Amino acid sequence: MTDPRTDVAPDPLALEAQVCFALSAGARGMVALYRPLLEPLGVTHPQYLVLLALWQDDAAGTTTTVTALAERLHLDPGTLSPLLKRLESLGYVARTRSPQDGRQVRVTLTDAGRERRRDAEGIPPAVVAATGLTLDELAEVHAAASKVVAAAVRAGVV
């Protein structure tokens, strides 16, 4: 498709036209918005994502394994292990071997980990305010990004 104003086809390799560039720059920007908000908790953004999953499980009265948590977060278990080790050293999570199957490691929140949830409740509205986007705009971004994740899962790369 050509630009009717110039009769020149757009450059398919223009940086600004690349979905990968927009997603990469956007992800870095969002993580940067979170960084100062997560400092009081003493966690990084990936550790925060782990806590979000565990807080959700805790509220539902369920627990999870390292393997299931890695799948849910789209992480390799080897990448997740150092995150869990750090959260464990902070006293936020506990890892225990399953008595039924010693190969499975269960991950649960500690009381201190549960308390951090209250500290984190102000993070989502602070992020919304920091972006300057409306809730509807953020919902559109979330929906589009979720489609990209689903496509990557279907392609077997996540």
- List pLDDT tens digits, range 99-152: 888 789 999 999 999 999 999 999 999 999 999 999 999 999 999 999 999 999
What is the pLDDT averaged over residues 61-76? 96
> Mean pLDDT across the stretch 45-57?
98
For the chain, the average pLDDT equals: 94
Residue of 65 and 1 predicted with greater confidence: 65
Top-tier CATH class for 27-120: mainly alpha
Task: Report the distance separating Cα 87 and Cα 27, nearest Å.
Answer: 23
How far, rounded to the nearest angstrom, does the alpha carbon of residue 44 sit from its chain's CA centroid?
A: 11
pTM of the model: 0.90
The residue ranges of every structural domain in the chain are: 27-120, 122-158
**Overall average pLDDT of the 48-62 stretch:** 97
Rg, Å, the chain Cα set: 20
* Three-state DSSP class for residue 97: strand
- Which pLDDT belongs to residue 23? 96
